Chains A and B, each alone.
Chain A
Amino acid sequence: MKNWKLAAGLLLSVALPSGAYATDLEVTHWWTSGGEAAAVAELAKAFDASGDHWVDGAIAGGGDTARPVMIARITGGDPMGATQFNHGQQALELVQAGLMLDLTDVAVANNWKDVVNPISLLEGCTIDGKVYCAPMNIHSPEWLWINNKIYEDLGIPIPTNWTEFVASAPQVDAAGKIPLALGRQPWQSTLAFNAIAVGVGGLDLWKKVNVDKDMDVAAGPEMLKVFQASADARKLAVKSTVQDWNQATNMVITGDAAGQIMGDWAQGEFAVAGKVAGKDYTCLPGLGLNAYLSTGGDAFYFPKLTDPDKEAAQKRLAALLVSPEVQVAFNLKKGSLPIRGDIDMSAANDCMKKGLEILKSGNVVPAGDQVWSPDVQTQLGDMQSEFWSGDMTPEDAQARYVEILKTGL
Chain B
Amino acid sequence: MAGKQTRTGRPTGLRLFRNLNAKVAAVPMVLTTLVVFVGGTLWTVLYSFTNSKLLPRMQFVGLDQYKRLWSNDLWNAAIWNLAFYGVMSLVFTIVMGFVLAVLLDQKIRFEDTFRTIMLYPFALSFIVTGLVWQWILNPEMGIQEVVRRMGFETFTFDPLHNPSTVLYGLLIAGLWQGTGFTMCLMLAGLRGIDEDIWKAARVDGIPKWKTYVYVVIPMMRPVFVTTLVIVAAGIIKLYDLVVAQTSGGPGNASQVPAMYVYRYMFTAQNLGQGFAASTMMLLSVLIVLIPWAYLEFGGKKHG
B55 at the interface (CB under 8 A from A): yes
**Given A67-B267, A373-B269 in contact, is the A185-B247 Cβ separation under 8 Å?**
yes
Task: Please pick, from B54, B68, B73, B252, the residue contacting A407 in the complex, using a CB distance under 8 A.
Answer: B68
| Pairwise interchain contact A378-B268, C-beta atoms closer than 8 A | yes
B161 at the interface (CB under 8 A from A): yes
A residues 299-330 near B (Cβ < 8 Å) are none
For residue A243, which residues in chain B have a CB less than 8 angstroms away from its CB? 247, 249
| Pairwise interchain contact A375-B250, C-beta atoms closer than 8 A | no
Q: Which residue of A lies closest to B161 (CB)?
A: A241
For residue B251, which residues in chain A have a CB less than 8 angstroms away from its CB? 184, 385-390
| Pairwise interchain contact A382-B252, C-beta atoms closer than 8 A | yes
| Pairwise interchain contact B250-A68, C-beta atoms closer than 8 A | no
**Interchain CA distance A64-B248 in the complex, whole Å:** 14
| Pairwise interchain contact A374-B268, C-beta atoms closer than 8 A | yes
B115 at the interface (CB under 8 A from A): no
A94 at the interface (CB under 8 A from B): yes
* Residue of A241, A382, A386, A389 ringed by the most chain B CB atoms within 10 A: A382
Do most interface residues of chain A lie in helix, strand or loop, or is the interface mixed? helix
CB 8 Å contact bits of B256-296 with A (1 = contact, 0 = none): 00000001101111100100000000000000000000000
B74 at the interface (CB under 8 A from A): yes
For residue B249, which residues in chain A have a CB less than 8 angstroms away from its CB? 184-185, 243, 385, 389
**Interchain CA distance A87-B263 in the complex, whole Å:** 20
B163 at the interface (CB under 8 A from A): yes
**Given A241-B139, A407-B68 in contact, is the A386-B267 Cβ separation under 8 Å?**
no
| Pairwise interchain contact A375-B269, C-beta atoms closer than 8 A | yes
| Pairwise interchain contact A378-B267, C-beta atoms closer than 8 A | yes
| Pairwise interchain contact B247-A71, C-beta atoms closer than 8 A | no
**Interchain CA distance A382-B54 in the complex, whole Å:** 19
For residue B273, which residues in chain A have a CB less than 8 angstroms away from its CB? 375
The number of residue pairs between A and B whose CB atoms lie closer than 8 Å in the complex comes to 75
Interface residues contributed by chain A, number (CB under 8 Å): 30
| Pairwise interchain contact A97-B55, C-beta atoms closer than 8 A | yes
| Pairwise interchain contact A386-B268, C-beta atoms closer than 8 A | no
A379 at the interface (CB under 8 A from B): yes
For residue A71, which residues in chain B have a CB less than 8 angstroms away from its CB? 54, 266, 269
**Given A75-B55, A389-B249, A389-B250 in contact, is the A93-B269 Cβ separation under 8 Å?**
yes
For residue B268, which residues in chain A have a CB less than 8 angstroms away from its CB? 374-375, 377-379
B residues 159-208 near A (Cβ < 8 Å) are 161, 163
**Given A68-B267, A374-B267, A378-B263 in contact, is the A385-B252 Cβ separation under 8 Å?**
yes
For residue B139, which residues in chain A have a CB less than 8 angstroms away from its CB? 241
| Pairwise interchain contact A386-B55, C-beta atoms closer than 8 A | no
Q: Which residue of B lies closest to A183 (CB)?
A: B249
| Pairwise interchain contact B269-A389, C-beta atoms closer than 8 A | no
A363 at the interface (CB under 8 A from B): no
For residue A120, which residues in chain B have a CB less than 8 angstroms away from its CB? none
**Interchain CA distance A373-B72 in the complex, whole Å:** 18
For residue B247, which residues in chain A have a CB less than 8 angstroms away from its CB? 185, 243
- Determine how close the nearest CB of chain B comes to the CB of A87; give it in whole angstroms: 15
For residue A383, which residues in chain B have a CB less than 8 angstroms away from its CB? 73
For residue A374, which residues in chain B have a CB less than 8 angstroms away from its CB? 267-270
Do most interface residues of chain B lie in helix, strand or loop, or is the interface mixed? loop
* Residue of A67, A377, A389 ringed by the most chain B CB atoms within 10 A: A389
**Interchain CA distance A377-B247 in the complex, whole Å:** 18
B119 at the interface (CB under 8 A from A): no
B residues 74-98 near A (Cβ < 8 Å) are 74
| Pairwise interchain contact B263-A390, C-beta atoms closer than 8 A | no
**Interchain CA distance A87-B163 in the complex, whole Å:** 35
| Pairwise interchain contact B73-A386, C-beta atoms closer than 8 A | yes
CB 8 Å contact bits of A91-120 with B (1 = contact, 0 = none): 011100100000000000000000000000
Q: Which residue of B lies closest to A390 (CB)?
A: B251
A90 at the interface (CB under 8 A from B): yes
Q: Which residue of A lies closest to B138 (CB)?
A: A241
Task: Please pick, from B53, B158, B250, B266, the residue contacting A67 in the complex, using a CB distance under 8 A.
Answer: B266
**Given A185-B247, A243-B249, A385-B251 in contact, is the A64-B267 Cβ separation under 8 Å?**
yes
Task: Please pick, from B55, B158, B161, B270, the residue contacting A375 in the complex, using a CB distance under 8 A.
Answer: B270
**Interchain CA distance A243-B263 in the complex, whole Å:** 18
B253 at the interface (CB under 8 A from A): yes
| Pairwise interchain contact A93-B68, C-beta atoms closer than 8 A | no
- Determine how close the nearest CB of chain A comes to the CB of B282; give it in whole angstroms: 21
**Interchain CA distance A131-B259 in the complex, whole Å:** 35
| Pairwise interchain contact B54-A378, C-beta atoms closer than 8 A | no
| Pairwise interchain contact A386-B269, C-beta atoms closer than 8 A | no
**Interchain CA distance A94-B251 in the complex, whole Å:** 31
CB 8 Å contact bits of A52-68 with B (1 = contact, 0 = none): 00000000000010011
- Determine how close the nearest CB of chain B comes to the CB of A246; give it in whole angstroms: 15
For residue A92, which residues in chain B have a CB less than 8 angstroms away from its CB? 54
For residue A379, which residues in chain B have a CB less than 8 angstroms away from its CB? 72, 268
**Interchain CA distance A64-B266 in the complex, whole Å:** 8
**Interchain CA distance A90-B54 in the complex, whole Å:** 9
| Pairwise interchain contact A184-B55, C-beta atoms closer than 8 A | no
- Determine how close the nearest CB of chain B comes to the CB of A385; give it in whole angstroms: 5
**Interchain CA distance A71-B54 in the complex, whole Å:** 9
| Pairwise interchain contact B54-A386, C-beta atoms closer than 8 A | no
- Determine how close the nearest CB of chain B comes to the CB of A299; give it in whole angstroms: 17
**Interchain CA distance A382-B68 in the complex, whole Å:** 15
B residues 45-70 near A (Cβ < 8 Å) are 53-55, 68
| Pairwise interchain contact B266-A93, C-beta atoms closer than 8 A | no
For residue A388, which residues in chain B have a CB less than 8 angstroms away from its CB? 251
| Pairwise interchain contact B161-A90, C-beta atoms closer than 8 A | no
For residue B250, which residues in chain A have a CB less than 8 angstroms away from its CB? 184, 241, 389
Task: List A residues at the B interface (Cβ < 8 Å).
Answer: 64, 67-68, 71, 75, 90, 92-94, 97, 184-185, 241, 243, 373-375, 377-379, 382-383, 385-390, 400, 407
Q: Can you list 6 residue pairs at the A/B interface with Cβ under 8 Å?
A: A71-B54, A185-B249, A375-B53, A378-B270, A379-B72, A386-B73
Task: List B residues at the A interface (Cβ < 8 Å).
Answer: 53-55, 68, 72-74, 139, 158, 161, 163, 247, 249-253, 263-264, 266-270, 273
Apart from A67-B267, A389-B252, A390-B253: 18 A-B pairs, beta carbons within 8 A:
A71-B54, A71-B269, A75-B54, A184-B161, A184-B249, A184-B250, A184-B251, A241-B158, A374-B267, A374-B268, A375-B269, A378-B268, A382-B74, A385-B251, A385-B252, A387-B251, A389-B163, A390-B251
Lowest 7 CB-CB distances: which A-B pairs, in order?
A: A389-B251, A378-B268, A68-B266, A93-B54, A389-B250, A375-B270, A374-B269
